[in-house]
Amino acid sequence: MVNVASVLSSNIVGFLLMTVLLFSRGWRIQTKNSESLIILIMILSVIVGCFVDPIAFYSDGKPGKLSYFLVHGSNTILFSLNVIIGPAYIILIVRHIHEKLSQKQVLLVATLCISESIILITNIFTPIIYYVDENNVYHRLFLYWFYVVVELFFLLYGLFVYVSARRKGHYLRFFPAWQFIFPILAGMFIQSFCYGTSLIWPCVGVAICCITVSLQNESIYCDKLTGAFNRFYIPELEKSMSKGDGRFGALMLDMNGFKQINDQYSHSDGDRALIAMAEILAGVVGDDGVIIRFAGDEFIIILDAYSLEYVQTIKESILKAIDDFNASKKLPFEISASIGGSIFNAKNDTEESFIRKIDELMYEDKAKYYANHNRRTH
């Protein structure tokens, strides 16, 4: 038996949650308009879902043609919203990690969405997802589970894209996919196997709030241009490192001839050089450390390292990666960098002291570089 009051209460919570998020403009992520638009679409979808879902439950089993149309129409709307949420989540992740889905991936997602749409339209004339009997009672049919499986696929595929990006070294520490997936999976499981409950849309609302908060937190600590962390993240790192034995590796990198790039080419080309350097560092370091854009063309790399040899290995790997990048001719100029690094202990070395040390080591390396290169042209 359906408890309409319970259904209404849970959906009111979801509706209010999304309404507050909508009008507080908490969905707006600074400098990430495309991601903000996706989140806005998801918020509006949940608002519609939370509004329509109680209508579907209230009208279920009520006599009269109006009730029939309300049951049929509201459930059609709810299934159509499912076609939006899953793909929106995948697109959000892809946009966030600055990558593109391959043609095969786009074709797969589009095929599933189109299939869901065609089946839903067919259901209006020939019941295959659900039907409404002569007493205006809603009944699930076998293709109902197709929607459950597809939505589950979208969620898990989004998680796959996320995990793959993490392995490539993308900055996703403040973008944990499970915060979005877990509430939705909980709502899907309960609502699918406990007929008469209504939790899916409020749970989607909770998931959207979680991912929005994560993105807002990330924007505090992330450099808007390169996607690397900014210097405000260093104290957070020190807190976490001091909980263990405290040892860590740190390198300071300064791009050589960066002013000449801006002067000879343009500031937009200078930005491209910074972005390229951040991507090179992320590719080398991966999950073994953190990339921080410290200031201007200076980067700090914090490593999970216990030996000076490993720090030196990372330095050599970065220099080789820079050479490989230059060989690819992706930019109309070459980039280079001076790097200095060492091993420190968060229990003894302060932020000021270890930065001063790696800065000195970096300038020693830069002096060696300019001993063989003209400062005006490099």
Strands annotated E in the chain: 130-132, 138-140, 229-230, 247-255, 289-295, 298-303, 337-345
* Cα(32)–Cα(30) distance, integer angstroms: 5
Boundaries of every domain in the chain: 4-221, 229-370
Q: How far is CA 202 from CA 99, 143, 205, in A?
A: 30, 24, 5
Does pLDDT of 239 surpass 80?
no
CA distance 53 to 188: 14
What are the pLDDT digits (tens) for 53-67? 999 989 999 999 999
Task: Output the pLDDT for position 169.
Answer: 54
Joined tokens for residue 160: 């796959």
For residue 196, what pLDDT is reported? Answer: 62
Query: Does 4-221 match 229-370 in CATH topology?
Result: no
Quick one: average pLDDT of 21-44?
A: 83
Q: C-alpha distances in angstroms, 172 versus 86, 164, 211, 229?
A: 20, 11, 12, 10
Q: Look at residue 375 in the predicted model and tell me its pLDDT.
A: 58
- pTM equals 0.70
Instruction: Give yes or no for residue 44 having a pLDDT over 60.
Output: yes
Q: What's the pLDDT score for residue 155? A: 86
Torsion of CA 201, 202, 204, 210, to 10 degrees: 170
CATH of domain 229-370: 3.30.70.270
Alpha-carbon distance of 33 to 95, in angstroms, equals 10
Choice between 291 and 174, residue whose per-residue pLDDT is larger: 291
What is the third-level CATH fold of 4-221?
A: Rhopdopsin 7-helix transmembrane proteins (1.20.1070)
Taking a C-beta distance cutoff of 8 angstroms, is the pair 262, 324 a contact? no
**Mean pLDDT in residue range 82-98:** 83
